């Protein structure tokens, strides 16, 4: 299994999109976000069946949501995400 680590700065989060985008005229995308409050990662079997997991957030969004929009959504649903690392 490959492990990916992503580092994002506050400047990238606050940055606005480069050109205007009409989110009302674009088809939505079902985005599934899996959260965890401990160090362990989800196993691949978590994703094999389409039963919604307790740690899964499903949201319809535009095809190119900003990182700021995504983090705001996760923070609304999972209060533990507001604490930071």
Q: Encoding tokens for residue 27?
A: 């088809």
In angstroms, rounded to a whole number, what is the distance separating the alpha carbons of residues 23 and 62? Answer: 6
Band (pLDDT 50/70/90 cuts) for residue 79 is confident
Model pTM score: 0.47
CB 81 within 8 A of CB 75: yes
C-alpha–C-alpha distance, residues 39 and 13, integer Å: 24
Q: List beta partners, residue 33.
A: 57
Which pLDDT band holds residue 7 (cuts at 50, 70, 90)?
low
- Note the pLDDT tens digit of each residue in 14-37: 676 666 666 666 667 788 777 766
Buried b / exposed e over 56-76, threshold 16 CB at 10 Å, is ebebeebeebbeeebeebbee
């Amino acid at each position: 299994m490959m492990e990916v680590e992503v580092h994002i700065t506050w400047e990238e989060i606050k940055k606005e999109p480069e050109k205007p985008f009409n989110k009302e005229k674009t088809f939505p995308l079902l985005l599934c976000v899996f959260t965890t409050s401990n160090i362990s990662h989800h196993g691949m079997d978590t994703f094999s069946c389409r039963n919604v997991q307790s740690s899964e957030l499903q949201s319809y969004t535009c095809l190119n949501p900003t990182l700021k929009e995504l983090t705001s959504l996760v923070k609304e649903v999972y209060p533990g995400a507001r604490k930071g690392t």
